[in-house]
Structure 1
């Protein structure tokens, strides 16, 4: 099920008010009993927020924030969908694989733009 508007609103409270959320998806640290996380992909950053043990729908705190200049995937779908991000393996539900692909395509599209041959004009 897509991340609800209420969860997106709670996530936005942890982000720069001048930023704009493009993608949000939940994930679990592979093989961990720790609370889940939300990835919030914005115009400027990729922010990972931890959830609580009692409610996996409530972001509790920011775990890490990085610039929006890196891919999240690729996602390995040979078993349970998973990906490695900043050295940590995360599991996701099948329905969020296209979300990661869309977020990565956005970055790849920016990187594929040609350099302006006449930047001074």
Structure 2
């Protein structure tokens, strides 16, 4: 289920000017260096960056700051499917648990990360 337009608008306020939002999905940290686990994040994939936004402690859907801004070429997957945890993705020191419904968004974002990743249109 895609996130609401209201959440996308909140995310746009923290993004670099000119970034066009392609994918947004919520995630919960399992382990982060120097930070307690179970912190809520929103991962925003734009045409130029992958931005990880930290959410408010008491409001999962309210982004308050930028945790990291990575180049668009950053691979979010592979998605690890753990029977006890659920799907996880990791990049850098960040290990994030995502809901099953957002696995397709992660895989699509990885496919689109470079123009060479998709086959040329034969027509």
What TM-score results when the alignment is normalised by the length of structure 1? 0.84
Structure 2 partner of 1:43: 47
SS at match of 2:53: strand
Q: Which has the higher strand share?
A: 2
The two structures, once aligned, show a CA RMSD in angstroms of: 1.8
1:20 equivalent in structure 2: 20
Structure 1's unaligned 5+ residue stretches are 115-121
- 1:61 counterpart SS class: strand
Structure 2 SS opposite 1:77 = strand
Residue 90 of structure 1: aligned partner: 96
Q: Deviations over 1:53-87 (max 9, x none)?
A: 11101001001101101210000124210111113
Q: Distance in 2 between matches of 1:84 and 1:34?
A: 14
For residues 6-17 of structure 1, the aligned pairs below 5 Å read: 6-17=6-17
* Residues 111/59 of structure 1: CA separation in 2 closer, same or farther (3 Å cut): same
Q: Deviations over 1:74-102 (max 9, x none)?
A: 00124210111113211000000000011
Which protein is bigger by CA-based radius of gyration?
1
Count of aligned positions: 113
